[in-house]
Each structure stands twice: as structure tokens, then as C-alpha cells.
């Protein structure tokens, strides 16, 4: 049994089947089949982080929506005012959902491509063969960016879409575990327009800790693969200060859990009762 096969055997024994998704209308959650614990996803807990750049982007998208077909002029009319304001407020969410759909299509194709690669031992010839009919051209561009990354680097995939977690903190899905430069490497795919250094580093630090604590194996390097949606280009980022990122994530979990705990009131009125 070679090194990769040994790692895969440990994953099968200690990771596979431990966590399962229980996503619902309230968000992304994961269930631990060994302990019965239900945990919020890593990305859900990171959602409490303040993102000033996102607020500016939302305002920009809302204003751009109002400028289409001179919608802003309808704001002057009382009969149209509420509809125009509602449309402007919803516009950023429509753009976000559209981008999320594109990212999902790219992730799904990449997962199928990698799983076939692992199963056969041979890298598939063309990732576009894993695109589904009707997939967005932007998603196909991101797929090609994944393939370009694999063609440029010597990589041996070990596992794809691993569900990892810790009952005390959170759980989530690790995109890719591979041997890269002869080192056990965690690779996270991103298709967002920008790179959020804070949340991305905390996210992959959490995945690294979860995997290591479940398996006893050590991940030697962590990469964020940012994929273009315009052409088959990619950017690779190394994550620095992983121990500090993990420490920050634990603190974020503490804040999230405190904010979400509705069993006790956070404040109560100080009512002084007079005795007569």
C-alpha cells in the first residue's frame, strides 16, 4: 500500500460517514452520526463578520438597478415608489444568487472530474465533458481554470468534497485533499469576484484543524484556488498564519453561538418595584 492509499484508508475509517449535510430553510447544517450533534456550517458562522466592501458593493448594484430603463425617475411617483425601492434592495441578492449558481455548476463539474480521476488513477482528458447541458458559460470558464491548474502542477488527488467537523465548533465541506509537491495539501476552490482574505483564511484553517483532529494526519500546505469566470485563468494563494486564523475562527464560533442562543435573554429591563 503506497502513501496515498494509506491516507485514503485512514479517511475511509475516520472521516467517511461521520458527518452528513442537514441543510434546510434556516441554513447549512451538518449532523454527526456518531454523537448526534447538529452544527452550523463554517460559512454560516463566518457570516457574522463585518464586510464593509460588501456593503459598498450592494449599494453600487442597487443604484445600477435603478439606473436601468430610468427606474430612478419612477421613485418620484408615489404609485411606483415602494416597488422601485424593493427592487433596488433585492437586486444585490439576485446578483449574489446568480453568482452562487455559477459557482455551484463549476464545483459540481470539478468534483465529478476529480472523483473519476481518483477512481481510475488517470487524469480525465477534458473537464468540459463534465459540464451539464445548460451550464452557464461562466461556469465552464471556471471549470477550464480548474483543469489549467491541474495541467500546470503535478497533483495526485486523494479525496474530494470531504465532510469534516468538530462538535464543539462547526462543520463543512473540504473541496480537495491532494499530494502537491509531495506534500499533503488542502485546496479550496473559489469562484467569487473578489478574494476575502479574512474569511477565506479562517475557513480553510477550520477545515485543516477538523481534518487533522479526525485523522491524526498533518496537512503540510493550504492553497486557495481562485478561478476566473471569464476565461481559463486562475490565481493560487498561500494562507499565512494558519494557527492565528484557527484561533480567530474559534472566537468567531463563540460569538456566533452566544448571539444565536435564544434560551436566555441578553438584557432585561431594570424595573424597580416600590413597596407601599
DSSP sequence for 174-196: EEEEEEETTEEEEEEEE--SS--
Q: Does residue 159 carry a pLDDT above 70?
A: yes
Q: Does residue 211 carry a pLDDT above 90?
A: yes
Q: Judge contact between 58 and 66, C-beta under 8 A.
A: no
Position 27 scores a pLDDT of 80
Alpha helices in 183-266 (DSSP H): 197-215, 242-260
Q: What is the pTM of this model?
A: 0.83
Rounded distance, CA 99 to CA 102, Å?
A: 5
Of the candidates 148, 212, 265, 228, the residue with the CA atom closest to the CA atom of residue 7: 212
Rounded distance, CA 27 to CA 81, Å?
A: 32
Segment among 13-22, 94-103, 248-257 with least mean pLDDT: 94-103
Res. 76 pLDDT band, cuts 50 70 90: confident
Mean pLDDT of 34-55: 85
Mean pLDDT of 121-136: 92
Position 54 scores a pLDDT of 61
SS3 66: helix
Q: Judge contact between 172 and 165, C-beta under 8 A.
A: yes
Question: What phi and psi values does residue 143 have, to the nearest 5 degrees?
Answer: -60, -45
Residue in the block written with cell 422601485: 84
Position 124 scores a pLDDT of 94
Q: What is the pLDDT of residues 240-273, one digit of tens each?
A: 899 999 999 999 999 999 998 887 788 888 887 7
Q: Does residue 73 carry a pLDDT above 90?
A: no
**Which has the higher per-residue pLDDT, 54 or 258?**
258
Q: Judge contact between 189 and 107, C-beta under 8 A.
A: yes
Q: What is the pLDDT of residues 101-119, one digit of tens each?
A: 778 899 899 999 999 999 9
Q: Judge contact between 202 and 221, C-beta under 8 A.
A: no
First to last CA, the chain: 85
Amino acid at each position: 500500500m503506497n502513501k496515498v492509499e494509506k491516507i485514503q484508508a485512514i479517511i475511509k475509517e475516520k472521516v467517511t460517514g461521520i458527518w452528513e449535510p442537514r441543510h434546510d430553510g434556516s441554513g447549512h447544517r451538518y449532523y454527526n452520526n456518531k454523537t448526534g450533534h447538529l452544527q452550523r456550517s463554517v460559512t454560516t458562522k463566518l457570516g457574522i463578520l463585518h464586510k464593509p466592501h460588501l456593503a459598498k458593493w450592494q449599494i453600487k448594484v442597487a443604484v445600477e438597478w435603478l439606473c436601468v430603463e430610468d427606474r430612478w425617475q419612477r421613485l418620484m411617483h408615489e404609485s411606483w415608489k415602494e416597488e422601485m425601492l424593493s427592487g433596488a434592495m433585492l437586486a444585490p441578492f439576485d446578483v449574489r444568487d446568480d453568482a452562487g449558481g455559477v459557482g455551484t455548476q463549476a464545483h459540481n463539474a470539478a468534483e465529478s472530474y476529480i472523483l473519476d480521476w481518483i477512481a481510475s488513477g488517470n487524469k480525465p482528458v477534458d473537464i468540459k465533458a463534465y459540464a451539464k447541458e445548460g451550464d452557464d458559460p461562466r461556469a465552464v470558464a471556471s471549470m477550464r481554470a480548474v483543469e489549467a491548474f491541474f495541467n500546470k502542477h503535478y497533483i495526485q488527488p486523494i479525496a474530494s468534497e470531504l465532510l469534516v467537523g468538530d462538535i464543539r465548533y462547526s462543520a463543512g465541506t473540504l473541496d480537495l485533499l491532494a499530494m502537491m509537491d509531495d506534500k499533503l495539501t488542502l485546496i479550496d476552490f473559489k469562484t467569487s469576484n473578489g478574494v476575502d482574505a479574512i474569511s477565506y483564511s479562517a475557513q480553510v484553517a477550520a477545515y485543516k484543524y477538523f481534518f487533522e483532529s479526525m485523522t491524526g494526519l498533518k496537512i503540510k500546505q493550504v492553497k486557495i484556488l481562485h478561478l476566473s469566470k471569464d476565461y481559463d485563468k486562475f490565481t493560487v494563494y498561500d494562507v499565512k498564519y494558519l494557527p492565528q486564523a484557527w484561533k480567530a475562527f474559534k472566537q468567531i464560533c463563540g460569538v456566533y453561538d452566544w448571539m444565536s442562543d435564544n434560551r436566555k435573554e441578553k438584557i432585561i429591563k431594570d424595573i424597580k418595584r416600590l413597596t407601599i
